[in-house]
């Protein structure tokens, strides 16, 4: 019988619940940590895994993902930032990719899937270069050089589009391109028009500024996507505080209160003991006087509608109704601010501060109800500040409404980007193919080893049109080869992948527009992330000693 020699320093001797001895080898309980090149390759593998998840969601024919939260709530989307934001990722490098899509979403609002697919393709290409013995820093330098060439080439092939508040055709085309891959594509003409109208309503075209805080996107389940509409004013998910108050108020003069509509209470450290009927009646009279004084102060300003951040009890509600003063209670802080901006009123923290000058003004405030459930909402229209708008999304279920909101956010961002910088490149992978050709040509003139990294960058750019072709049911390599060949021979940088099967590869004729700043940001962010990943050769968890 052979015996196994065990080092007592690397083993723990213990017994089970029956007293039988067994051995735990220490090496089994500790994972061996990768260093150097092995670590970089494991990081690349993690990043590629995340990129492959969203790769199938790219383009107008991209597939959706169903995301289930820990409490069982379902989200169906193909928005890259939403998919990655709701994924549970443990690996550190995977988390960097999640942050990459979030930074693209925060800065540009669109192109969140494309930037992750590009970063994954760059890392995949860098793995092949590492296997050939090229140092990670040389690869990163080559990628930086190639990115500079690609961004410069984008500036050369971009076109400036003209638009005005009367001529919005080009803005509409851009919004339609953004919405083409979304779940709302059935109504994408209507949604694109809403996005363009909302941006132009709030935009300052001279300063090229679009204040997003003036655009509110709200939604309610019920109805179809076709019932989504733009409200030139503010929508509140509230109704009048008393059922007998008027359903609409014309020529509204609003008091916006952030103090409760009730008498002052004793502080928490004090209490009020009432021991007789006289004392109770005295307190009741005091409260009644206070209510009457509050209502008088409001009426004296000439107001005919009260918007209150806090609630008020039944007695105050009854007195308001008796004094023909409609009121809305429990209005949230963000809504209070939006109402103040829209109506050009001042938020009043105390009744003593009420003056006529602080009132907000609106043409009409009316209650609207929906379906057989009679859900009610308040619409404040014809406000003093005509720039504030609300987009009201309808849908058959919460999933559709939420995806409609996300799609509108992307479309609004795409239109906003054109207002800020009205230069565009063409979509369908045409910009990537053209940039790839430019980077390949530039690599031929580089004498150093970085030319390999530049060619790898060019190959990574091809990943976008390859994914578009694959997701559209086309033969990826054949389609890309044909379009790339035509771009070289015809010297036409607008030729891309015909995702919709219209028989036309010229993206200008298909009206597939991409804002230049969005495409440029994708290249720069993806290259920065890949450079950071290539420079990491070890992961050290703080608080854990290495034995």
- The CATH number covering residue 481 comes to 1.10.560.10
The residues annotated as belonging to the active site are 79, 112-113, 410
Rounded to 10°, the helix 398-420/516-534 angle is 100
Residue 443 in any domain: the answer is yes
User: Is the domain of 262 the same as that of 152?
Assistant: no
Are residues 308 and 445 located together in one domain of the fold? no
pLDDT for 436: 92
Residue 457 inside a domain? The answer is: yes
The reply to whether 430 and 381 lie within a common domain is no
Residues 495 and 363 in one domain: no
Residue 410 resides in a domain: no
**Three-state DSSP class for 210?**
coil
Residue 12 lies in a domain: no
Low-confidence ranges of the chain (pLDDT < 50): 1-8, 10, 13, 25-33, 545-547
Residue 284 lies in a domain: yes
Query: Residues 255, 344: one domain?
Result: yes
Q: 213: which residues sit within 8 A by CB, 6+ positions away?
A: 338, 341
Write out the H or E segment, with its range, that includes residue 402. Answer: helix 398-420
Q: Quick one: residue 222, left, alpha or beta (phi over 0 = left, psi -120 to 50 = alpha)?
A: left
- Give the model's pLDDT for residue 266: 62
Tell whether 21 is covered by a domain.
Answer: no
Q: Is 542 exposed, middle or buried (0-12, 13-18, 19+ CB in 10 A)?
A: exposed
pLDDT value at residue 30: 41
Contact 345, 356 (CB under 8 A): no
Q: Are residues 379 and 433 in the same domain?
A: no
| 243 plus 346 within the same structural domain | yes
Give every CB contact of residue 7 below 8 A, 6+ residues apart in sequence: none
Distance CA 100, CA 115 (A): 8
Looking at residue 459, its pLDDT comes to 93
Q: Is 477 a member of any domain?
A: yes
Identify whether residues 124 and 240 lie together within a single domain.
Answer: no
Same domain for 467 and 519, yes or no, is yes
Query: Which of 366, 385, 404 is where one domain is finished?
Result: 385
Domain termination site, one of 363, 385, 407: 385
Q: In the prediction, which pLDDT does 5 show?
A: 45
Number of domains observed in the structure of the chain? 2
How far separated are the first and last CA of the chain, in Å rounded?
34
Range of the domain at 360: 233-266+273-385
Distance CA 111, CA 504 (A): 23
Dihedral angle computed from the Cα positions of residues 463, 464, 468 and 474, in that order, rounded to the nearest 10 degrees? -30
pLDDT of the residue at 477: 92
Report pLDDT for 27.
Answer: 42
Nearest Cα neighbor of 421 from 215, 147, 210 is 210
Give the length of the chain.
547
Q: How far apart are CA 273 and CA 263, in angstroms?
A: 17
CATH number for 319:
3.50.7.10
Residue 409 lies in a domain: no
362 and 505 fall within a common domain: no
Query: Does 343 share its domain with 434?
Result: no
The last residue of a domain, from among 385, 408, 441: 385
Q: What is the mean pLDDT of the chain?
A: 83
Q: Is residue 345 domain-shared with residue 452, that is, in the same domain?
A: no
pLDDT of residue 265: 67
């Amino acid at each position: 019988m052979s015996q196994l020699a065990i080092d007592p320093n690397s083993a723990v001797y213990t017994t089970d619940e029956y007293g039988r001895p067994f051995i735990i080898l220490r090496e089994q309980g500790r994972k061996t940590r990768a260093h150097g090149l092995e670590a970089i390759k494991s990081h690349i593998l993690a990043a590629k895994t995340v990129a492959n998840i969203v790769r199938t969601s790219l383009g107008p024919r991209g597939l959706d993902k169903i995301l289930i939260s820990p409490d069982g709530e379902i989200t169906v989307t193909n928005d890259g930032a939403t998919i990655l934001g709701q994924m549970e990722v443990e690996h550190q490098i995977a988390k960097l990719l999640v942050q990459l899509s979030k930074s693209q979403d925060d800065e540009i609002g669109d192109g969140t899937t494309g930037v992750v697919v590009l970063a994954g393709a760059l890392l995949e290409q860098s793995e092949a270069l590492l296997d050939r013995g090229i140092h990670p820093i040389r690869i990163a330098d080559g990628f930086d050089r190639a990115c500079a060439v690609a961004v410069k080439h984008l500036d050369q092939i971009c076109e400036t589009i003209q638009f005005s508040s009367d001529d919005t055709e080009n803005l509409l085309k851009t919004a339609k391109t953004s919405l083409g891959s979304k779940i709302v594509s059935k109504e994408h003409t209507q949604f694109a028009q809403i996005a363009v109208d909302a941006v132009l309503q709030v935009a300052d075209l001279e300063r090229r500024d679009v204040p997003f805080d003036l655009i509110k996107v709200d939604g309610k389940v019920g109805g179809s996507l076709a019932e989504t509409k733009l409200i030139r004013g503010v929508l509140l998910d509230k109704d009048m505080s008393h059922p007998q108050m008027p359903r609409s108020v014309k020529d509204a003069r609003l008091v916006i209160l952030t103090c409760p509509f009730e008498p002052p209470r004793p502080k928490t450290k004090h209490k009020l003991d009432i021991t007789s009927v006289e004392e109770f009646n005295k307190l009741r009279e005091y409260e009644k006087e206070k209510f009457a004084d509050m209502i008088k102060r409001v009426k004296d300003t000439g107001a005919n509608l009260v918007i209150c951040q806090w609630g008020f009890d039944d007695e105050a509600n009854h007195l308001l109704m008796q004094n023909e003063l409609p009121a809305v209670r429990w209005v949230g802080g963000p809504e209070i601010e939006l109402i103040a901006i829209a109506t050009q009123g001042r938020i009043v923290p105390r009744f003593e501060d009420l003056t006529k000058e602080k009132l907000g003004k609106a043409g009409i405030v009316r209650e609207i109800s929906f379906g057989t459930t009679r859900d009610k909402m308040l619409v404040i229209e014809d406000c003093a500040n005509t720039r504030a708008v609300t987009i009201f999304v309808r849908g058959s279920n919460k999933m559709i409404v939420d995806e409609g909101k996300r799609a509108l956010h992307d479309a609004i961002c795409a239109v906003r980007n054109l207002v800020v910088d009205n230069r565009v490149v063409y979509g369908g992978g045409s910009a990537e193919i053209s940039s790839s050709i430019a980077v390949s040509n530039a690599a031929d003139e580089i004498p150093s080893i970085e030319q390999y990294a530049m060619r790898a960058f060019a190959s990574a750019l091809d990943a976008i049109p390859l994914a578009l072709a694959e997701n559209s049911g086309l033969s990826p390599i054949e389609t890309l080869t044909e379009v790339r060949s035509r771009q070289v021979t015809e010297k036409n940088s607008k030729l891309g992948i015909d995702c919709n099967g219209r028989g036309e590869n010229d993206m200008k004729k298909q009206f597939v527009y991409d804002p230049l700043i969005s495409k440029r940001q994708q290249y720069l962010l993806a290259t920065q992330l890949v450079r950071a990943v290539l420079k990491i050769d070890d992961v050290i968890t703080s608080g854990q000693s290495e034995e």
